[in-house]
Amino acid sequence: MKIEVVAYRKEWVAQFTSERERLKAALPIAFLQIFHIGSTSVKGLAAKPIIDLLLVVDNLQDLDDHQVIFEQLGYEVCGEFGIPGRRYYRKGGDQRTHQIHAFAYNNLYEIERHLAVRDYLRTHTNAVARYAAVKRAVAEFSGNDIEKYGDFKETFVKQLEEAAIKWRLQIKANNEGHQL
């Protein structure tokens, strides 16, 4: 898979919206929510041009029962793919265009983790600049090896997640009038 980190593209929002509507129309499942997550959901952030969707559903069995529809929509069904309680789907093969991360509504840690990072980056431009620089350097250094790409940026991503979760908890505490 060629690893290409490109400047932010405003059409990513429309691509997310279009795919969200395709999923809603094709699947006989009531989604509690479909979120745009990942780097393409953050205005100004350089990214691999792959749209990440977070599906929140009542239960994962509904998704498992409709795998053939995901396949008809062009997705590869990948099961948990390393994260317990997740269903992962990817579209486009070596020219990947979309990825779906699906969780049941009660998997709050995974849902909140993804949303916290997205929202943190949307409000912290200094973190966006640092993350873009890391991604560009890692993409160049990894030589189109997606495993190396993930491994090389893992430390930064973990630190980013930690900062984002703490930030989100602080906002919630402040809104409730409490200090952490």
Q: Which residues pair with 33 in a beta bridge?
A: 56
pLDDT band at 179 (very low <50, low <70, confident <90, very high): low
Mean pLDDT value across the chain: 94
Classify strands 51-57 and 86-91 as parallel, antiparallel or unpaired: unpaired
Output 146 or 129, whichever has higher pLDDT. Answer: 129
- Give the type of residue at 91: K
Check whether 180 has a pLDDT greater than 60.
no
Tell which CATH classification among 3.40.50.300, 3.40.1160.10, 2.70.70.10, 3.30.460.10 matches the domain 11-175.
3.30.460.10
Q: Which residues pair with 95 in a beta bridge?
A: none
For range 124-136, the mean pLDDT: 96
Residue 129 has what pLDDT?
A: 97
pLDDT band at 59 (very low <50, low <70, confident <90, very high): very high
DSSP per residue over 1-15, as a string? -----B---THHHHH
Output 178 or 162, whichever has higher pLDDT. Answer: 162
pLDDT tens digit sequence for 2-26: 899 999 999 999 999 999 999 999 9
Check whether 177 has a pLDDT greater than 80.
no
Phi, psi of 32 (to 5 degrees): -75, -35
Question: By the 8 A CB rule, do 158 and 117 touch?
Answer: no
pLDDT band at 135 (very low <50, low <70, confident <90, very high): very high
